[in-house]
């Protein structure tokens, strides 16, 4: 396995491929994304242990969405069980995926715990419990410090796990090595991932502005509130479709190596 370097404009291509792939199997991929979101939400609601369990299975479920993207590119209809691909590839890979998930859960909980210490739990309560913060809380320096502390700690964690589930599943890389290769690949292709993030932010902003403009033209302000959530979920589903392409183009797979010989 070798890292591959790509040009910055590849980031925009990844976005394009994610949207195009979604268009090939929109019902299946949207349905899988909602199943993914529902699973995370239901598990998280279990008192005390729900959040750690949800964070533990998150890498495997993200891998499931990537596997669904691969099937869609091959003209196949991804079935619901594909979400559990990470746990259906044999005992060795199941253990590796659980170890990976446990490491992610530990990192996430540590980052959230440190943010809790910064402001006494104001940011953590909003992030985890969905509590709407009041104006005073939002304007407090402690809340802002906690938010940026969490972001600063969670960003490198996200990069370590960006490609890790795919490396464990498709290339049999051990969990710790997959995390190392993931963050190295992200830094080596930093500008492509930066373009990738900026284009997706542009797509999301464009979606919001388009819905707002449509509701204004129709003279129905309530329409924006009705369409905004499904519109953002649509963008989020396509974003997860595009993750597979960031992995595919960042690593040389055994198939790539064989084709060169």
The whole-angstrom separation of Cα 133 and Cα 130 is: 9
| Residue 254: per-residue pLDDT | 56
Domain boundaries in the chain? 2-253
Q: pLDDT class for 142, splitting at 50, 70, 90?
A: confident
Does residue 106 surpass a pLDDT of 50? Answer: yes
**Start-to-end C-alpha separation, the chain:** 15
User: Which among 98, 107, 67 is positioned nearest to 174, based on CA atoms?
Assistant: 98
Q: pLDDT class for 130, splitting at 50, 70, 90?
A: low
Q: Where would I find the beta strands (DSSP E) of the chain?
A: 2-3, 251-252
| Residue 100: per-residue pLDDT | 97
Which residues fall within 8 angstroms of residue 187, CB to CB, at 6 or more apart?
159
| Residue 121: per-residue pLDDT | 82
Mean pLDDT of the chain: 90
Task: Render pLDDT for 193-230 as a digit per residue (tens, 0 to 9).
Answer: 999 999 999 999 999 999 888 888 888 878 877 888 88
How far is CA 205 from each of CA 193, 198, 256, rounded to the nearest angstrom?
A: 18, 10, 37
The whole-angstrom separation of Cα 71 and Cα 226 is: 32
pTM (two decimals): 0.89
The whole-angstrom separation of Cα 121 and Cα 20 is: 41
Place of tokens 């060795």: 92
Both tokens assigned to 103: 């490491």
Both tokens assigned to 236: 């989020």
């Amino acid at each position: 396995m070798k890292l591959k370097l790509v040009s910055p404009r590849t980031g925009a291509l990844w976005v394009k491929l994610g949207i195009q792939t979604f268009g090939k199997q929109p019902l299946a991929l949207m349905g899988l994304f909602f199943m993914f979101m529902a699973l995370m939400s239901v598990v998280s609601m279990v008192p005390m242990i729900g959040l750690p369990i949800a964070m533990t299975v998150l890498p495997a479920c993200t891998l499931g969405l990537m596997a669904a993207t691969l099937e869609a590119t091959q003209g196949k209809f991804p079935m619901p069980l594909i979400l559990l691909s990470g746990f259906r590839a044999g005992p060795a890979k199941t253990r590796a995926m659980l170890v990976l998930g446990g490491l992610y859960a530990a990192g996430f909980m540590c980052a959230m715990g440190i943010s809790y210490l910064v402001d006494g739990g104001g940011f953590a309560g909003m992030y985890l419990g969905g509590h709407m913060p009041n104006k005073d809380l939002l304007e407090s320096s402690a809340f802002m410090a906690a938010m940026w502390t969490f972001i600063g700690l969670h960003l490198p964690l996200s990069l370590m796990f960006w490609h890790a589930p795919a490396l464990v599943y498709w290339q049999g890389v051990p969990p710790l090595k997959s995390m190392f290769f993931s963050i190295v690949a992200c830094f080596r292709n930093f500008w492509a991932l930066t373009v990738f993030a900026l284009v997706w932010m542009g797509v999301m902003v464009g979606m919001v502005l388009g819905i707002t403009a449509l509701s204004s033209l129709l003279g129905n302000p309530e329409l924006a509130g009705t369409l905004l959530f499904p519109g953002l979920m649509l963008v989020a589903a396509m974003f997860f479709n595009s993750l597979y392409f960031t992995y595919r183009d960042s690593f040389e797979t055994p198939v790539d190596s064989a084709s060169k010989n």
